Structure 1
Amino acid sequence: MIMLNFSKVSYENHGKNILKNINAHIEEGDYISIVGPSGSGKSTFLKLCNNLISPSSGSISYKGKDMLSYNPIELRKEISYCFQTPYLFGDKVIDNLHFPYEIRNKKFDIKRAEYLCDLFNLHKKILDEKITNLSGGEKQRIALMRNLIFPSNILLLDEITSALDSENTLIIENIIYKLNNAGTTILWITHNKEQSVKYANKLLTIEDGKVKSLEVLK
């Protein structure tokens, strides 16, 4: 099943062409590494994937329906984006893990939060830590935990291990690999060549705002 389909998609910002005539499709269960030079349009492509921004021209469909026909909030429950620079809010870590429950009108599950702490190699005491006291790597992991509280159909990852050491990078890679094996479609921007081919089944290269290649790896 084709989850996302880009048809002649371009994106302009302040008169600058960021993406140009993008044609691509993402199939259910794909694990796609997105690579290319800095400033080539990779993050813009990812933001288009869940309507954080809309195309200047062309169309994007999700599950065969025009993406613009979906309620944005509901769409982003199914297509979840984790930024390279983590955006945490509230006063404490636990405030961020409450949020996914609040927008779904569900009761907070502390056991789920503690399970994710353990999975991400974080002590559960961090839940009561002020976000201002966190390291860059801890903030990245908390942001990803927030995305994973509830399962999504597609997970969009933008350089999410850039602030992590090798041990914690490996932990995150294994978590994402297991999610993919369980059925989550993955799109992951990375500048790490080894990481880009480690688990991915496809390698999407974007250069100068265009799709240079979409290589099948396995």
Structure 2
Amino acid sequence: MKSSNDILVLDDIHYQIGQAVILDSVSFALQAGEFKLITGPSGCGKSTLLKIVSSLISPTRGRILFDGKSIDAMAPEDYRKQVSYCFQTPSLFGDTVYDNLALPYHIRKLKPDENNMLRGLERLALPGDMLKKGINELSGGEKQRISLIRNLQFMPKVLLLDEITSALDEDNKRNVNALIHRLVAEQGLAVLWVTHDKDEISHADEVITLPVNGANAQESTDGPA
């Protein structure tokens, strides 16, 4: 049932390619300050669902509401400034880390805030001189963290995360988890996270499990105290 507090509502989302049904009747809502995880076996449509929510692809059937309005009625660029998608395989641009962290400012026709960039690097245990580092010199884990920092240069209302800790060691996984949970608690960020990580799953407000056949199943968990 929809609530006036819902920031994002998925209503009967269905997606298929030819005769292959990828998602079937997926419905749930997300509120500000809520942390939900999507899990399920390989091939069940987890990443496809995030692409639909981020408006990169359109569902075969169903609708998505953002702040009570159909996203079909919104300009895609305005929607994506509020609902930010961090890919499992980061797509970095330009030549350097600075080029990537400056991109959100250029999109908004604003002067890049280097101090904010440095704060982002520090929060995820990356040195300030990395701003000058070439993107081809970065490890997979560094690319994932830079991608996340880029998404957080301007705080979205909804953050979509697709297996973003898969290339990180345990210390950096904990840093990313701590940052996301802090933003949820302190700034009311709404998070929808695709993951298989058992620690991340154990701290979710709710886990949405997608079976291979596309039928939607949900399992609630107790969130952190």
TM-score, normalised to structure 1, is 0.96
Match status 1:215 vs 2:220: yes
**Contact 2:202 2:221 (C-alpha < 8 Å) held by counterparts:** no
- Correspondence 1:89 to 2:93: yes
RMSD: 1.1
Q: How does 1:1-218 map to 2 (within 5 A)?
A: 1-181=5-185, 182-198=187-203, 200-208=204-212, 209-218=214-223
What percentage of residue pairs aligned between the two structures are identical?
41
User: 1:17-68 CA distances to partner (integer Å, 9 max, x unpaired)?
Assistant: 1111112222222100111111111111111112111111111111111111
Output the CA distance in 2 between the equivalents of 1:22 and 1:195. 22
Deviates more, 1:59-68 or 1:139-148: 59-68
How far, CA to CA, are the matches of 1:115 and 1:141 in structure 2? 13
Contact 1:203 1:217 (8 Å CA) reproduced: no
Contact preservation (8 Å) 1:33, 1:197: no
Q: 3-state SS of the aligned residue for 1:6?
A: strand
Q: Is the 8 A contact 2:13 2:62 kept in 1?
A: yes
Q: CA deviation at 1:192?
A: 1.0
Say which SS state the counterpart of residue 207 (structure 1) adopts: coil
| Greater alpha carbon shift after TM alignment, 205-214 vs 176-185 | 205-214
SS of the aligned residue for 1:113 comes to helix
Return structure 1 stretches of 4+ with deviation > 6 angstroms. Answer: none
Q: 1: CA distance between counterparts of 2:100 and 2:151?
A: 10
